[in-house]
Amino acid sequence: MGKTLFEKIWESHVVVEKPNNPSLIYIDRHLIHEVTSPQAFDGLRMNNRKVRRPDLTIATMDHNVPTNDRSLPILDQTSAIQIQTLEKNCKDFGITLFDINSPNQGIVHVIGPQLGITLPGSTIVCGDSHTSTHGAFGALALGIGTSDVEHVLASQTIWLEKPKPFEIKIKGKRKNPHAVTAKDIVLSIIKNIGTGGGTGTVIEYRGEGIEDLSMEQRMTICNMSIEAGARAGLIAPDEKTFDYLRGRKYTPKNYESLVEEWREYLKTDNDATFEKQFTLHIDDIAPQVSWGTNPGMTCDVTESVPFPDEFAHGDPNQEKGAEKALNYMNLKPGTPIEDIKIDRVFIGSCTNARLEDLIEASKVVRGQKISPSVRAMVVPGSQMVKKQAEEMGLDKIFIDANFEWREAGCSMCLGMNPDILSPGERCASTSNRNFEGRQGTGGRTHLVSPVMAAAAAIKGHFVDVRKMDLN
C-alpha cells in the first residue's frame, strides 16, 4: 500500500520504534528563541550535559524584542534579562545566534525559510507552536514545549506518538486572488473543522487551490494548522519550493542532488490512505473576519456577528463559549461585520509579515491616509523582509499613509514587547490568535488578511476588500 508524505518523512526519521509506544524521532533542524529556551539550558547545566549538535541548532530573538529604535537600550528589565540569557547560552554552548543587531534577525518562522535553513523532507522543531509554518516546504515541523527543547538540545531527538494523516483538499480557484487570500482559505478551514478539528493529526494540504499558491501564501496556510489543533501542516514540495530555497545563505552545497531525490520521493502515493479528510471549495469564498475569542469564531466579511445558538449548532458548551466571547468582544449579534469600527491595525506576525504580504497591503494603502481614529503599524517579519520592502519603497507608502514602520519581531501578535493594545481597544490584526488578552489585557482582536487589515485602516471599520481596486 502507498504512503502519505507524512508517513515517508516519519519513517525516514525513526531512531527507535516499539509497538504501542512513542517513537524516538531524529530532528534535523532545531530553532530556538529567548522565551522558551532559558529553562532548557538551565536543565543542561544542572545535569552537566552538552548540546549534541550545535551545527543543527540556530537561535534568534523575536518574541519580546522592541520594534522601535534598536540603538536604544531595552527598557523592560525582564525582557533585557531574557535576551542577555539567550546570548550567554548560545555563547556557552556554541550555538549560532542572530541577535537584535544581526541583518538575519527576525521571527524564527520567517528567517528559517529565508535563510535556507528549512529543507524539504527534514524534521524541524522549535519551542513555538507556529513551527508548523515550515511544513509549507514539505518538512515535518513541530512546536514543542521547553522540556522537549532541552531533550532535543541534549539528544537531537524527541519521543513522539505517531500522529494520524489528515487530508485537506482545496478545490477550485479564487475569483479575485488579491482580495481573497491564503489567510481567508485557512480561516475558512478552521471555521469549518473547529479549533480541535486537527488534534492528533498532521494535515496535508492538497489540490489545485494549494498548488496555485506562492511559497509565502503556503506558509500562511501551514502556519495556522496549529489553530485547528493539528500537530503539523504539510504541503508536498514542487518546483516553486525548490526555486524558493535555491541560492539562499544556508542552502546546502549538494542542494541540486537533494532536489533530484526530493522530486521523486516527497509526495503522497496515489494509493495512500488518510485517516481523516475534509474538502474546501474556494471558488466563492469571501474575505474572513474573526468575531470571537478563538480562530474558529470567524465569518465572511459580508455576514453579521452570529447569534450564539446559531453558531453552536445545538452544542450547549459552544453556545456558552460564544456568549462569553461576544461579551468579551463587546459585540451584539446581528451587527454587520462591516459596521464594526476599529482603533488599531497590526500588519505583522509569522502568519502574515512576509514581503508578499506587505506588497499586497501596500496596494490598498498607496496614495491614501488611514482613518484619523486609527493607529496602525507594520512590523516586517524579519530584517531581511524590512530591507527588501524598503528597497521597493513600500516603507514610504505606509509611512505616507500614517502607518508606523517598525523593526522586525513578533510584536503585537502576542504583545510581549511594548507593542500592546490598551484595555477595550479593538484591532484588525494579521496575526493568528484572537484569544482574550492576547494582544494586551482587555484588548479585542479580529483576525484578517493583510489586505483586509489595510482596508480597515483606511476606512476605520471593516470593509469588503473585493470592492477595492487592487491591481
Partner 1 sequence: MESFKNISSIVTPLDKVNVDTDQIIPKQFLKLVQKSGFGKFLFFNWRYDEAENKKSDFILNDPKYDDSKILISGDNFGCGSSREHAVWALKDYGFSVIIAPSFADIFFSNCFKNGLLPISLDEKLVEILQKETDPISIDLEKQSIKTPRQEIHFDIDSHMKKILLEGLDDIAQTFQYEDKITNFEKNSKIPSVL
Among 247, 253, 391, 471, binds partner 1 (CB under 8 A): 253
Q: Which is nearer to partner 1, 187 or 258 (CB)?
A: 258
Least spacing, CB of residue 13 vs partner 1, in Å = 8
Strands (E), 221-264: 232-234
Concatenating the DSSP letter of every residue in 108-138 gives: HHHHHHHTT---TT-EEEESSGGGGGGGGGT
Q: Which is nearer to partner 1, 210 or 421 (CB)?
A: 421
Span 21-60, contacts to partner 1 by CB under 8 A: 21-22, 24, 26, 28-29, 35-36, 38-39, 42, 47, 49, 52-53, 55-58
- Say how many C-beta atoms besides its own lie within 10 A of residue 69's C-beta: 8
Cα distance between residue 280 and residue 447, in whole Å: 20
Among 433, 444, 446, 466, binds partner 1 (CB under 8 A): 433
Least spacing, CB of residue 179 vs partner 1, in Å = 29
Cα distance between residue 207 and residue 226, in whole Å: 20
Torsion from C-alpha of 466, 468, 469, 471, nearest 10 degrees: -50
Angle between helices 450-459 and 355-365 (to 10 degrees): 30
Span 184-203, contacts to partner 1 by CB under 8 A: 195-196, 199-200
Least spacing, CB of residue 82 vs partner 1, in Å = 5
Q: Give the binding-site size for partner 1 (rule: CB under 8 A).
A: 84
Span 290-319, contacts to partner 1 by CB under 8 A: 294, 317-318
Span 55-114, contacts to partner 1 by CB under 8 A: 55-58, 63-64, 76, 78-79, 81-82, 85, 96
- Measured distance between the N- and C-terminal CA atoms of the chain, rounded to whole angstroms: 47
Span 144-173, contacts to partner 1 by CB under 8 A: 144-148, 150-151, 154-157, 159, 161, 163
Longest alpha-carbon distance in the chain: 63
Using the contact rule CB under 8 A, the part of the chain among 138-146, 166-174, 183-191, 460-468 near partner 1 is 138-146
Cα distance between residue 432 and residue 429, in whole Å: 8
Q: Which is nearer to partner 1, 171 or 324 (CB)?
A: 324
- Contact assessment for residue 38 and residue 79, using Cβ atoms and an 8 Å cutoff: no
Span 438-467, contacts to partner 1 by CB under 8 A: 438, 441-442
Q: Which is nearer to partner 1, 301 or 413 (CB)?
A: 413
- Contact assessment for residue 454 and residue 364, using Cβ atoms and an 8 Å cutoff: yes
